[in-house]
Chains A and B, each alone.
Chain A
Amino acid sequence: MASGPGPHDRTLPLAGLLALTGALVAVPFALDPFRQQLAAKYLCFAFPAVGLVLVWGYGGILSLGQGLYFGMGSYFMAMFLKLEAAAQSNTGSALSQFYGSSLPDFMVWNSVEVLPWWWRPFHSLAFTIVAILVIPPLFAFLLAYANFRKRVGGVYFSIITLALAAMASIVIIGQQGYTGGVNGITDFKTFLGVDILSDRIKSVLYFITVVTLIAVVLGARLILASRTGKILVAIRDREDRVRFSGYNPATFKAFAFAAAALLAALGGALFALQEGLASPSLTGIVPSIEMVIYAAVGGRLSLIGAVYGTLVVFSAKTFFSENFPEIWLYLLGALFILVVLFLPTGLAGLAERVGSVLRPRRPAVRAAAPVRAVAEEVDTPVEVGSAPPA
């Protein structure tokens, strides 16, 4: 906003964005419905990865618990869809005559007789959408502000985020009657009466996901280009100094954390809509750490890199598990180790290096570029799971 993309802008290279948009638009025409479905699923996980670029790459706050917000988004959407399914299903109506209201099937199996009060508002689509857009960022903001105001940060905050994600999945599994437990909430077929399992609707949802994702990347770009974005970088590098410029770092960091939570929730909601599932296995520690890996593989300073990173990791996952079913996890682990060791700036850093080799050098301006690239590598090593820069 205030300052346009400069010559060293790494947040959003135009070529990368165009190539990605082209490729994503081509997917439904090039791939069979099964592969398209996979692509849609991968893209949903790109949302939290883009959020991590904001909060971790630029805000210096390593969240190991984005699965919590992804989970909130997916559960809120799934609750809406499940209530719709319950109202329609034959078994549901038979049971509802018995119990006096239509209950989701898993509640019936768990002898829950009355729909809990906090499920009721999810009959309304408007409420559901507002819940997805407001509750995760609001929760994230309050949590982060309370911690950052007391100057709890760095690795301690990372552990808190991790613990919350773990707690969420434990609570979901423990409260089977209200949450569907370890199976999650699943088995719904319609959204406002539209069959979401048909290939045509799946293509529509896929395009909605692509458009939302690109909008989100552009929105994040606007935040980073605004003065708020510059202050985030300043806080990441010298939080103490920022206080003496008259800013309260706690609000800025909490804002970045809330924005990342919103993106994760959006991804979760789109995931539940397309995959027909909200599950504790997508809410806890493992998916949360994986989201960090997507961002790290893509390059944590590149918004578009996070999308590429997600797609690459998921493709590798699918490829390895289909072709080397016995050892695919080891291969995936080796891939992460290689990236962390040899590509500290991720795929975006690799693309930038290749680009600067291919580009014809303009003598005066480009003279310092190689030195700069080396210096940045030394300054910002990407270590998955390590503390953010102080």
Chain B
Amino acid sequence: MILSVEDLTVAFDGFTVVDGLALSVEEGELRCVIGPNGAGKTTLLDMICGKTRPSRGSIKFKTHELTELIEYEVTRLGVGRKFQTPSTYEDLTVLENLEISYPEKRGVVGSLFFTRDAALRDKIDEVAHRIFLADHLDEKAGRLSHGQKQWLELGMLLMQDPELLLLDEPVAGMSPRERERTAELLSGVTAGRSTIVIEHDMAFVRMIAHTVTVMHQGRVLAEGSMDEVQADPRVIEVYLGE
């Protein structure tokens, strides 16, 4: 088990967003988390990656307790996060975006004297090729299309090579064609990697998920294969039946 969440609770201004949640992810598993808006899905990811501090409960990543750590410490342990909106560094080139994501020498002095060796250059070229941006290495990220930015962000995660990957709606806002290429790309990114995906697109979830967790009002409502979950009357009532 790579991730084990227990009794996780957080409240904002007295309103409980995530309530006693328990969840565990096995090594190499791809877990989809679905649920209606406001179910607490994104907040769950925020707590795992150190962005939001839970009021109660524990998040164990391998042997580390994550609830006490802040974002960059969690990232350095090997947790990667992709946000809902594409977040790349717009004023830097594609190449610089990828290079910054390389998980080495992340202190000020180390970065000051950091040099790009042949191995890193090869890795950047390989990743750029995988994300269909090999011809755009010297272009500023701000000039890429929405879909290309999403790919670049996945490329940045490939450079980062995290052990646990958190993806928040990776195909949201994409054209059907981009969506198809992204699905293909994602299967490469997530292959053999423990991953939690939040997604609304049911066809997409059916395609990629091993196990599906349905969240509702900050709690786990159901968990199982897509077929099991879809047959669950409670799930149909709150979510799929709508």
Contacts and interface: CB of A to CB of B under 8 A. Distances in A.
Contacts of B103: 246
Given A233-B91, A233-B92, A246-B72, A6 B101 contact: no
A200 interface: no
Contact of B115 (A1, A241, A249): A1
Interface in B75-98: 75-76, 80-81, 83, 87-93, 95-96
Interface of B is mostly: loop
Given A226-B114, A228-B108, A243 B100 contact: no
Interface in A218-262: 223, 226-228, 230-231, 233-234, 236-238, 240-241, 243-249, 251-252, 255
A97 interface: no
Nearest 10 Cβ contacts at the A-B interface:
A243-B71, A246-B75, A227-B114, A227-B111, A228-B111, A234-B89, A241-B87, A228-B112, A255-B108, A243-B72
A237 B75 contact: no
Given A223-B112, A243-B71, 4 more contacts: A228-B112, A246-B72, A246-B75, A248-B72
Given A228-B108, A252-B108, A245 B100 contact: yes
A323 interface: no
| Interface size class of chain A, counting residues whose CB lies under 8 Å from the partner chain | 20 to 34
B241 interface: no
B138 interface: yes
B99 A2 contact: yes
Nearest to A230: B96
Contacts of B105: 227
A238 B91 CA distance: 10
B91 A237 contact: yes
Contacts of A111: none
A10 B114 CA distance: 22
Interface in A7-60: none
A277 to B, nearest CB: 35
A231 B100 contact: yes
A3 interface: yes
Given A2-B116, A6-B138, A228-B108, A245 B101 contact: yes
Contacts of B176: none
Nearest to B101: A245
Contact of B75 (A227, A231, A243): A243
A235 to B, nearest CB: 9
Contacts of A231: 100, 111
B106 interface: yes
Contacts of B81: 244
Contacts of B133: none
Interface of B: 49, 70-72, 75-76, 80-81, 83, 87-93, 95-96, 99-101, 103, 105-108, 111-116, 138, 156, 160
A206 to B, nearest CB: 31
B222 to A, nearest CB: 30
B41 to A, nearest CB: 18
B47 to A, nearest CB: 14
A2 B72 contact: no
A244 B71 contact: yes
Central interface residue in B71, B93, B95, B107, by most chain A CB within 10 Å:
B71
Nearest to B76: A246
Contacts of A255: 108
Given A245-B75, A245-B160, A247-B72, A233 B108 contact: no
A238 B83 CA distance: 13
Contacts of B95: 3
A241 B89 contact: yes
Instruction: From A6, A234, A236, name the one whose CB has the most chain B CB atoms within 10 angstroms.
Output: A234
Contact of B111 (A6, A226, A240, A249): A226
Given A234-B89, A234-B100, A245-B100, A251 B108 contact: yes
A244 B49 CA distance: 8
Contacts of A236: 91
Contacts of A240: 87
Contacts of A233: 89, 91-92
A50 to B, nearest CB: 18
A251 B90 CA distance: 22
Contact of B106 (A2, A3, A241, A246): A246
